Each structure stands twice: as C-alpha cells, then as structure tokens.
Chains A and B, each alone.
Chain A
C-alpha cells in the first residue's frame, strides 16, 4: 500500500522519492532510486562516495534553498529517511 490518502504521508513519500533520485544522480546511477529508497545499510556502503555526497549537498541546497552546515553531524546524508527528516526540518 503506497498511497494512504493522508496528504502528509503522500508528501513525505514524494519527498523521499525525489531525494532518492537526487542520491542516484549524485553517484551517476551507481545505485538506483529504488536501491536508495530500500537501503538497509548506510548509503556510503552502497557506493555513495564523498564526491557523490558533495554533489548531493549541492543538489539539495539548490533544490530546497537550504544551506548545509558541515561542521556538525552529517550522518543524515547516509539514508533517504535521514535526508527527508533533515530537509523537512530545514525548510
């Protein structure tokens, strides 16, 4: 069941799908959107290198108009859930 009819959940699902796409683009398709969404280990173990993380950060900043502070904990970069929570809090 992907659609719950709950607009909040639907928004959340769309955000995660878009983030997974950005993850996939950042690593030149090394992992697919579906793999990023379903990952059970940190994305860095699946081939999202530091270079891909930098591309992802650039893409997130442009798309969501946010600024990412790399001085703190950056573990949110390692999962789509983490990214979604971070983007939702930062917007």
Chain B
C-alpha cells in the first residue's frame, strides 16, 4: 500500500480529452478493458538495489505531483480530484513483468471508486533479493493518461529512482486544463476546430465501411497484427523522398487503401492527435489525445478510378496530405460537445448518421527516416508475419489502424463490416502499396 497526500482536491467538468475517452469507454463497455494500457520500467542500474519501500515512495510522490493519478470520475461525469488516499500495490516475487502487466490490465477500472493507476512491483525473489525491485509495472486507466502522459510518469519515476527527487514545477493539471478550455482563448480554439469538423461533415461519405461483409465472426471484433520490416523500410524511404514524416506516409497509405477497399473517393479518417503542440502541455500527465479529422480526396478530377495504384498517384496523394494533416492535427483539440452537436446537425440535414468509424493511431513516441537500398526493401516482405491477438464483442469503431512500432501495424475491425479475410488482405495490401511506391 502507498499512502499519498496531495495539496488540493476539487471538482471540475471533464477536460475535452477526458470527455472524449469517457465517451469511447462508455460505448465500448463492457469490453472497456480495451482502453487499459501499461508500461514496464526496469529499475535502472544506477538505482539498484531499490527496495520496495523506496520505489513505493517514488510512486507516492508521482501520485501527489500528477493530479490525474488521483482523479476519479465523479457524479454526472465530472473530474473528482482527491487530495489523499491509499494506493494498492501488487508485489510479485520473481514474476515475469509482462505477465504482471497482463494481469493488472485484464479488468476494466472502476472509474468512480478505483484510483486510475495499478501498480505491480516485481522483486528479485530468493532469500538474497527478496525485497529488491527489478521492474515496476504501471497500468493506467485511460481517463488518467494517454500514451505520452504515461511516458512522462515513467520518465519521472526513472528520474526519482536515480536521484531520489523530482525537479521543477509540475506541468498543467487536468483541473487547470478544464478551466482554460472554458476561457475565451479555449473557446476560440474550440471554434476553429469545430469549423473544420462542420465543413467536412457536410461533404464526407456518411461512413467509410457501409456495406455488410456477410461474414461476421463471433465475437465480431477482431484484430490482425502485421509484423513487417518492409512497411518500415518503405515508409522511411517515401518520407525521405517526399520530405514528410513516416506517420504522414502511413496515414496517407491507410487512407488510399480504405478508398480502394470501400470505393469511396473521398476518405475520412480520424487520426488520434496528441494535442501536445504547445510548450506547456507537452509534459502534462492527462489524456490530451483526441481524434482529429483527416480528409483526403483520392479520386482523379475526371471522377475516374481511385489513384491508389502505386507510383505517381501516391506521390500526388502525399502532396495533398501535407496540408490535410495539419488541418487534421489542429481539429484534434476540440470540444466533444461541439462535435456532438455537429454530428447531430449534419446527420439531420443529410438524413443519415455521419461518422467515419475509421481511425488511425500512430502510438510511436519518436520516428526516424533514412533511405535504404532497393534490394533491402525488395527482400523485406519475406520476413512479414501476421497474428490475430484480440477478439471481443464491443468496439466504438468499425476500423482502427494502430502503429505500435515502426514494423508493427494492426487493424482492429468489426467483421460485420470487414471480413476477417479482408482484414488480412488489407494489411498485406498496405505493405504492397508502400513497397511498390518506394521502389518506383
């Protein structure tokens, strides 16, 4: 158990980011454990031996410093910051940290009554190292942090373990963000983002995957994960050649292939945007990431077939994606209340529910791009492998692409709209599109 005592308590409306993930959690329940995620920190060499008491003190300091880690979901879906409490700790002697991570992630959080951080300490085991912590396992409720927020917690913990303290003032807290979002400046940001959503929601296809697959699985939601060095190498070359990032290359390729699979010339994809572009928010521990709206026209002006054939067409798409990506990024920092209103209005006007149900989440913290020779790229697809790591009943989307590292891309899809066979074809098609475009 870790006791903590922070400096303040209080209630405030959910921030935009909290509200967005809260909506997703509610739509995915009872399968909302889907949103749990965690990190394993190996105790750095310079901090060993670290006792369970020492590591626990560090975690207590983190919970005091980052208010998101002691914020619950209060009545009427507000943020309910508590100043003090006791955090349970699971001590696992001699255990595999990844198994502890899986165990602590296995059930959904009790959002109103459970601290949004689960902690496991893996100790060395045996009489000599009984109390020596080798790994710290942290599982986050997505209401408390997104990937970059969790990364900050891990960094802070590492720093504490090495130095015994945490320098500097804490970054902005969720209570402060909620206040800013309600201010005049916050409303200006919201209005600018809403303009983009509104304009695009009047013209994008009502949804991207609109034809039943006729091949629903039980349970219907499946994930295929492609391990593909070829995608990495090809995306890097395309990024270097066209002066862009591998993230934009992948988003563009994903969009092009969605156009091909669905027949929609205008493609709307919701990339998960970090919303950490300002200096002040870069290190905030909270969920700032939200969906942005990326819209790409893939058709020729003649209305001919979509230009997803590799080669010149892809270069044109990348050029068009340049500004579209910036617009999408800016639309990420929006008020979900505005978006809800826009969805309702445009759906009423168009007589059909408008929602792309097609998202893209590049979860990498950093990326790099260097060129590689033809032969390496040509040979790489022989190392590709595909697995099916997840199946469940509920998901708040129909088609989700995750990039977890440069060589690993997954599609989580509702097989009522895209069959298992088509999910596999999609991922292999993505690799082929990128490799062929890179080799031209």
A and B: bona fide binding partners? yes
Chain A contacts to B: CB under 8 angstroms:
41-42, 44-45, 49-51, 53-55, 57-59, 62, 67, 70-71, 73-74
B326 in complex: contacting residue of A42, A45, A59, A74, CB < 8 Å: A74
Main secondary structure, interface of A, reads helix
Contact (Cβ within 8 A) A54 B326: yes
Asked if B115 CB lies within 8 Å of chain A CBs, one says no
Closest Cβ–Cβ distance, residue A17 to chain B (whole Å): 20
The 7 closest A-B pairs by CB, nearest first: A45-B243, A49-B245, A54-B277, A44-B243, A58-B277, A70-B327, A50-B325
Which A residues lie within 8 Å of B329 (CB)? 50-51, 54
Contact flags (1/0) for B177-193 with A, using CB distance below 8 Å? Answer: 00000000000000010
CB distance from B242 to the nearest CB of A (A): 9
Name which of A45, A50, A59 has the most chain B CB atoms within 10 A of its CB.
A50
Contacts of A50 in B (CB 8 A): 244-245, 247-248, 322, 325-326, 329
Residues 324-380 (chain B) with a chain A CB within 8 angstroms: 325-327, 329-330, 367
CB proximity of B131 to chain A, nearest CB, Å: 39
Contact yes or no, B277 A57, CB < 8 A: yes
Nearest-neighbour CB distance to chain A for B113, whole angstroms, equals: 37
* Closest Cβ–Cβ distance, residue B187 to chain A (whole Å): 14
Q: B278–A58 contact, CB under 8 A? A: yes
Q: Size range of the interface on B? A: 10 to 19
Interface 1/0 per residue, B256-297 and A, CB below 8 Å: 000000000000000000100111000000000000000000
Known A-B contacts A54-B277, A70-B323; A44 and B330 likewise in contact (beta carbons under 8 Å): no
Q: Which residues of A contact B325 (CB under 8 A)?
A: 50
Residues from chain B with a CB closer than 8 A to the CB of A45 are: 243
Query: In the complex the two chains form, is A44's CB within 8 Å of B277's CB?
Result: no
Report B-chain residues with C-beta under 8 Å of the C-beta of A67.
192
A54 to chain B: which residues have CB within 8 Å? Answer: 277, 326, 329-330
A48 smallest CB distance to B (angstroms): 9
Interface string of B305-328 (1 = CB under 8 A from A): 000000000000000001101110
Q: How far is the CB of A36 from chain B (nearest CB, A)?
A: 14
Contacts of B243 in A (CB 8 A): 41-42, 44-45
- Which A residues touch B277, using CB under 8 A? 51, 54-55, 57-58
- Could you tell me the distance between the alpha carbons of A59 and B322 in the complex, rounded to whole angstroms? 19
Contacts of B244 in A (CB 8 A): 44, 49-50
Residues of A with C-beta under 8 A to B327 = 70-71
Do A70 and B278 form a contact, CB below 8 Å, given A42-B243, A45-B243, A50-B247?
A: no
Bound complex: CA A32 to CA B193 (Å): 32
Closest to A28 in B: B366
Bound-state Cα–Cα, A18 to B243, Å: 24
A55 / chain B contacts, CB cutoff of 8 Å: 277-278
Q: List 10 A-B contacts (CB under 8 A).
A: A42-B243, A49-B248, A49-B367, A54-B326, A58-B278, A62-B278, A70-B323, A70-B330, A71-B327, A74-B323
A53 contacts which chain B residues (CB < 8 A)? 326
Q: In the complex, what residue of chain B is closest to A45 when comparing beta carbons?
A: B243
**Which residues does chain B contribute within 8 Å of A41, judged by CB atoms?**
243
Alpha-carbon distance between A59 and B243 when the two chains are bound, in angstroms: 22
Contacts of A58 in B (CB 8 A): 277-279
Give chain B nearest CB distance to A64 CB in angstroms.
15
Bound CA–CA A67/B322 (angstroms)? 19
Bound complex: CA of A30 vs CA of B112, how far in Å? 43
CB distance from B418 to the nearest CB of A (A): 28
CB closest chain-B residue, reference A67: B192
Q: Please, which residues of chain B bring their CB within 8 A of the CB of A44? A: 243-244, 322
Which residue in chain B gives the minimum CB-CB distance to A71?
B327
Chain A residues within an 8 Å CB radius of B330 = 54, 57, 70
Chain A minimum-CB-distance residue to B273? A54
Q: How far is the CA of A62 from the CA of B247 in the complex (A)?
A: 26
Tell me, in angstroms, the Cα distance from A11 to B339 when the chains sit together: 43
Minimum C-beta distance from A57 to chain B (A): 7
New A-B pairs, 15, CB < 8 Å, besides A44-B244, A44-B322 = A41-B243, A44-B243, A49-B247, A50-B244, A50-B245, A50-B326, A54-B277, A54-B329, A57-B277, A58-B277, A58-B278, A62-B278, A70-B323, A74-B323, A74-B326
